[in-house]
Structure 1
Amino acid sequence: MGYRLSKIYTRTGDKGETGLADGRRVSKDHPRVEAMGELDTLNSQLGLLLAELALEEPKCPALTEIIEVLSPCQHRLFDLGGELAMPEYQALNSAEVERLEQVIDRWNEEVGPLENFILPGGSRLLAQAHVCRCHARTAERRCQHLNAVEPVREAGMAYVNRLSDLLFVAGRLIAKRTQVSEVLWQQADKP
């Protein structure tokens, strides 16, 4: 990918269309553009989570591993966005999905079985991990919508799915390592 933007505004999108890297012009609400936008939103929210983790890390060195695992995810999300912008471009492979699965298994073993539904909250870090998880689910839905119109590579679809799982378990692990109680769902009293 040697092409770099030298000018930020081009005025070519003023009428509701945008250009893809393969030269096509599509509507800004095209499923491909929607999926790319959701990946970008997720990446931005993940950046916020990483910044918050970095602020807490001096007080809780056990967060270092979480930062080390999540940091490459920003790059892989950017790769996936590149794949969507350039359908012939391939950046992700099954090894990335397997990396997430291994971490999910390891972290899930540390936090133990889920005994109740968990609500976003408890601390800013926990809530932000859940915000990221929600954006990962939205990105996955947008990618699936695109996949129904134009095929998306299997590794990309699997990656965003596993990333949402990883973020859920990361939230639980953050709670455990920072010694913050998770907010457990309480069922409403039945009439």
Structure 2
Amino acid sequence: MGHRLSKISTRTGDDGTTGLGDGTRVEKDDLRIQTLGDIDELNSVIGVLRAQVVNSNIQADEKQRWDKSLSLIQHWLFDLGGEVCIPNFTMVQESALLFLETDIEAMNKYLPMLKEFILPAGSLSCSYAHQARAVCRRAERSLISLQKRDQNIQKTSLLLLNRLSDWLFVASRSLQLEEHGKEMYWQRQK
């Protein structure tokens, strides 16, 4: 494989445009670029979550499991970015959905039943997972808007972000439990 990014400061975007993977130039505020930005931000927040988990007080074998899962997710988000960057290109596989669904079930086995809404707070790992979930929902909304306009976004890609936001919610609860924290429940003002 050759060098993909041999020069970072190209000045080709000085006119307010940027290039897609197929060579097409679009405005930097194009919905496709905004969607890519949301996916990139999500991947960055997942990276922060990953760093926090690795440095947390979770047991070593669990840290490895979390790191592996979060690494897979980051790679899938790059695949998704590739799909958005190259119209009519497919990279996201259904195996990603299966992994997320299976992992959600595995984590849920150890979590207490929710009887009330929980606040997006707790340990740093839990809180970063909640932040990632919120960014994931925004990326999902952007991808849906892009799909409505262009009609060339794969269904698997849309499902990936929906499943990932569910996974991140369950992960936040699981991380809180693994770090021996208590969930903070929403209380209706009296």
Does the CA-based 8 Å contact 2:176-2:182 persist in structure 1? yes
Residue 88 of structure 1: how far off its partner (Å): 3.6
Q: Which residue of 1 aligns with 2:183?
A: 182
SS in 1 for 2:109: helix
Q: In the alignment, is residue 148 of structure 1 matched against residue 139 of structure 2?
A: no
Q: What is residue 102 of structure 2 aligned with on the other side?
A: 102
Contact 1:100–1:166 (Cα < 8 Å) also in 2: yes
Deviation at 1:2, TM superposition (A): 5.5
Provide closer, same or farther for how the CA distance between residues 155 and 2 of structure 1 changes in structure 2, counting only shifts above 3 A.
farther
Aligned length: 188
Structure 1 gap segments, 5+ residues each = none
Moved over 6 A (4+): none
The aligned amino acid for 2:31 is P
Q: Name the residue aligned to 2:138.
A: 138
Determine the C-alpha separation between the residues in 1 that align with 2:7 and 2:117: 47
Partner of 1:87: 87
Measured after TM superposition, the shift of residue 97 of structure 1 is 0.8
2:164 equivalent to 1:163: yes
Aligned partner of 1:123 in structure 2 is 123
Are the equivalent residues in 2 in contact too, given 1:66–1:170 (CA < 8 A)?
A: no
For residues 2 and 82 of structure 1, what CA distance do their matches in structure 2 show? 17
Alignment partners' CA distance in 1, 2:67 and 2:4: 28
CA distance in 2, matches of 1:106, 1:11: 48
| Equivalent residue runs for 1:9-24 within 5 Å | 9-24=9-24
The SS at the match of 2:89 is coil
Percent sequence identity over aligned pairs: 40
2:36 equivalent to 1:39: no
Structure 2 unmatched ranges of 5 or more: none
Determine the C-alpha separation between the residues in 1 that align with 2:70 and 2:82.
19
- Please state how far the C-alpha of 1:112 moved relative to its aligned partner: 3.1
The answer to whether the 8 Å contact 2:12/2:18 transfers is yes
Indicate the RMSD between aligned Cα atoms, in angstroms. 1.5
Alpha-carbon contact 1:16-1:27 (below 8 Å) kept = yes
Contact 1:129–1:171 (CA under 8 A) maintained in structure 2: yes
Q: Secondary structure at the match of 2:18?
A: strand
Q: Does 1:172 align with 2:173?
A: yes
Deviation at 1:89, TM superposition (A): 2.8
Q: TM-score, normalised by structure 1?
A: 0.93
My pick for the range that moved more, 20-29 or 47-56, is 20-29
Any conservation in 1 of the 2:18–2:25 contact (CA below 8 Å)?
yes
CA 1:182–1:63: 2 relative to 1, 3 Å:
farther
Structure 2 residue identity aligned to 1:56: S
Give 1:63 deviation, angstroms.
3.6
Q: Compared with structure 1, are the counterparts of its residues 3 and 140 closer, same or farther at alpha carbon in structure 2 (3 Å cutoff)?
A: farther
Corresponding residue number in structure 2 for 1:8: 8
Counterpart of 1:26 in 2: which secondary structure?
Answer: strand
